[in-house]
Structure 1
C-alpha cells in the first residue's frame, strides 16, 4: 500500500490503518478496532470534518462515529472534496 489517504471515483476514501488514531462513538463503552487493512469510508456518510476534543483531525459520520487520524486537516479536506466530486487521487503517499 503506497498511500496514506486517497479518494476514488466511486466516492470512497481509503485511509491507511496506521494513520488512524481511533474510531469511536461518543457515549459508548468502547471504540471500534481496525484490522490492519485500510479503512474505507463513503464520502456521503461524512457529516463534517473538524477537530475532536483532543485536537486531532476527525471525520464525524452520519451514524455517530468519529474517525480521528494522524494527517493534516488540508489532506483530509482534499480527500473529502475529491471523493464527493468522484475524482480519483492519492492525497498523501
Structure 2
C-alpha cells in the first residue's frame, strides 16, 4: 500500500490501517479496531472534522462513530474536501 490517505471519484476516503488510532462510538463500552486492510469512509457520511477529547484528528460520522487518526489536520481536511468533490487524489504517501 503506497498511500496513507487517498480519495476516489466515488467520494470514498481510504485510510491506511496503521494510521488509525481508534474507532469509537461515544457512550459505548469498547471501540472497534481495524486489522489489515484500509478503512474506507464515504465522505458524504462525515458530519465534521475536528479534534477528539485527547486532541487527535477525528472524523465525526453521521452514525455516531468517531475515527481518530495519526495524520495532520490539514491532510484530513484535504481528504475530506477531495472526497466531497469526488476527486481521485493521494493526499499522503
TM-score higher than 0.5 here?
yes
1:26-65 aligned at under 5 Å gives the runs: 26-65=26-65
* Aligned residue pair count: 93
Deviation at 1:51, TM superposition (A): 0.2
Deviation at 1:16, TM superposition (A): 0.1
Deviation at 1:36, TM superposition (A): 1.4
Give the distance between the partners of 1:89 and 1:71, measured in 2 at CA.
16
1:68-79 aligned at under 5 Å gives the runs: 68-79=68-79
Shift >6 Å, 4+ stretches: none
Match of 1:88 in 2: 88
Q: CA RMSD in A?
A: 0.4
Consecutive unaligned residues of structure 2, counting only runs of 5 or more, are none
Consecutive unaligned residues of structure 1, counting only runs of 5 or more, are none
